[in-house]
Structure 1
């Protein structure tokens, strides 16, 4: 049997609104959800209700969950123009480009100080991306020789970079 909704509303409407307002922080939305809760009860007159208060809270909780999901879908985060200016650009700054060129020139100079064979091995491995085995096949030398030349190149470059 369906209870008299005006009595139920006057008995539970206020506490239901307080419950929703505490969770939402917005009295207007809480009032809307209370109305939706009672509309939900009205739309199901055939439902047998044992505990009307528990039933109202269950409906209100479900409406609250749905409301939060909808808000999350609708939400678009705004960003202040100042924050956009601080974001990293896709392209390096002119200073970064100049610094990278200087570093690259230093490395090229250090590589040119190496014996020609070591330069070739270093370029094939570190620039062209060949594995030790591929460099060995390409130059018809052992993998061990490739490793020794690379170790020599790295030790030389590390020593020269630390000395600066």
Structure 2
């Protein structure tokens, strides 16, 4: 059972976090170009690309919940739920999830909204005074999100205090 849970955990991490990391990293540039292009870009390829990247991030974020769920189930099977490396990994995973849900996804939606994409009927268009600065901030936050996941991966591999010799 442990091998199955671990396999599901690793597969979920690769299939959920990987696409989010890539799409979120590409989004700021696509959105900056979209906002710089102005009114005529709303129906072009740039608009579609930015909207698709945002949908990928949102959709895979929901699927990404499986990563810590399978990870905790695996940790419980192995009896390591209280080990420092696992607790640190869970804290960093929670920080990454909060960053994604509270900063990255809303910033992406705001940038799309400023370009007139994805707004509901009667919803006001958010004002972004400096698209380059907004894209740069979003790229920085996305980099921190990706860095958090990289540290989690290293903790999962190194497992300080492990008796496996790794």
TM-score grouping bracket, smaller chain normalisation:
under 0.3
* TM-score between both structures, scaled by the size of structure 2: 0.26
Higher Rg of the two aligned structures: 1
Provide the TM-score with structure 1 as the length reference.
Answer: 0.27
